[in-house]
A and B are shown apart, each in its own frame.
Chain A
Amino acid sequence: MTPLSITHYTLTNALGCGKPASLEALRTGKSGLQPCNLENVDLSTWIGRVSGLEDMPLQDSVSDYDCRNNRLAQLALQQDDFLPAVKQAVERYGADRIGVFIGTSTSGIATTETAYRTRVNDALPAEYTPQYTHNIASSSHFIRDYLGLNGAAITISTACSSSAKVFAAAYRYITAGVCDAAIVGGVDSLCLTTLYGFNALDLVSAEPCRPWDGQRNGINIGEGAGFALLEKPQDDDSCPSLIGYGESSDAHHMSTPHPQGAGARHAMQQALERAGLEIGDIDYINLHGTATRSNDASEDSAVCGLFGNQTPCSSTKGFTGHTLGAAGITESIFALLCLQDGLLPQSLQTRQQDETLGANILLNSEQRQLRHVLSNSFGFGGNNCSLIFGAAT
Chain B
Amino acid sequence: MISVTIKKIGVVAQGIGNWQEATALLQSEADYQGGELPPLKPSMLKPNERRRTTRTIKIALQAAEEALQDLTDTETLASVFSSSEGDLDIIDQICLALTEEGRPVSPTQFHNSVHNAPAGYWSIGAGSRQGSSSLGGLNGSFAAGLMEAAVQAVVEGVPVLLVCYDQPPPELLQPFMPIGEPFAVAMLLTTESDSGIARLNLSTVPDGTESRLSKPALEKLRLSAPSARSLPILEAIAQSQSAKFSLPYLPGLNLQSELLPC
Contact = CB atoms under 8 A, between A and B. Distances in A.
Contacts of B175: 123-124
B60 interface: no
A250 interface: yes
Given A176-B2, A380-B111, A380-B114, A249 B128 contact: yes
Interface string A168-195: 1101110110100000000000001100
Interface string A76-113: 00000000000000000000100000000100010011
A131 interface: yes
Interface string A138-150: 0001001100001
Contacts of B106: 200
B91 interface: yes
A248 B156 CA distance: 13
A96 B206 contact: yes
Nearest to B119: A381
Nearest to B92: A116
B116 A251 contact: no
A159 B104 CA distance: 22
Interface in B157-188: 171-173, 175-177
Contact of B84 (A105, A122, A135, A176): A135
A255 interface: yes
A233 to B, nearest CB: 18
A124 B172 contact: yes
B121 A178 contact: no
Interface in A365-393: 379-383, 385
Q: Which of A112, A124, A129, A246 has the most CB of B within 10 A?
A: A112
Contacts of B234: none
Contact of A152 (B116, B120, B124, B253): B253
B128 A157 contact: no
Interface majority SS on A: helix, strand, loop or mixed?
mixed
Interface residues of B, number: 66
B137 A196 contact: no
A252 B49 CA distance: 11
A135 B178 CA distance: 12
Contact of A247 (B95, B131, B140, B204): B131
B48 to A, nearest CB: 11
B187 to A, nearest CB: 17
B98 A383 contact: no
B132 A154 contact: no
Contact of A116 (B96, B112, B147): B96
Given A251-B124, A383-B116, A200 B110 contact: yes
Contacts of A112: 91, 95
A123 B130 contact: no
A116 B95 contact: yes
B232 interface: no
A197 B94 contact: yes
Contact of A173 (B104, B151, B172): B151
A201 B115 CA distance: 18
Contacts of B2: 176, 178
A185 to B, nearest CB: 15
A154 B82 CA distance: 10
A307 interface: no
A153 interface: yes
Interface string B68-90: 00000001000000001110000
Given A249-B130, A381-B114, A154 B135 contact: yes
A119 B172 contact: yes
A151 interface: yes
A116 B103 CA distance: 13
B172 A144 contact: no
B155 interface: yes
B134 A200 contact: no
Contact of B129 (A145, A171, A266): A266
Contact of B107 (A130, A169, A176, A201): A201
B120 A380 contact: yes
A200 B251 contact: no
Contacts of B98: 113, 116-117, 192-193, 196
Given A152-B204, A251-B128, A158 B115 contact: yes
Interface string A196-211: 1111111000000000
B224 to A, nearest CB: 16
A152 B151 CA distance: 12
B133 interface: yes
Contact of A159 (B114, B155, B156): B114
A119 B176 CA distance: 14
Interface string A225-267: 0000000000000000000001111111111000000110010
B138 interface: yes
Contacts of A145: 251
A253 B114 CA distance: 13
A100 B251 CA distance: 13
A136 B136 contact: yes
A169 B114 contact: no
A158 B119 contact: yes
Given A96-B206, A383-B116, A152 B147 contact: yes
Given A119-B172, A124-B176, A172-B151, 5 more contacts: A124-B173, A176-B2, A178-B2, A196-B103, A385-B131
17 contacts: A116-B96, A137-B138, A150-B251, A156-B133, A156-B135, A157-B116, A159-B115, A172-B152, A193-B110, A200-B106, A201-B107, A246-B131, A248-B129, A249-B128, A249-B131, A250-B129, A381-B116
Interface of A: 96, 105, 109, 112-113, 115-117, 119, 122-124, 128-131, 135-137, 141, 144-145, 150-159, 165, 168-169, 171-173, 175-176, 178, 192-193, 196-202, 246-255, 262-263, 266, 379-383, 385
4 closest A-B pairs by CB: A381-B120, A247-B131, A197-B110, A157-B115
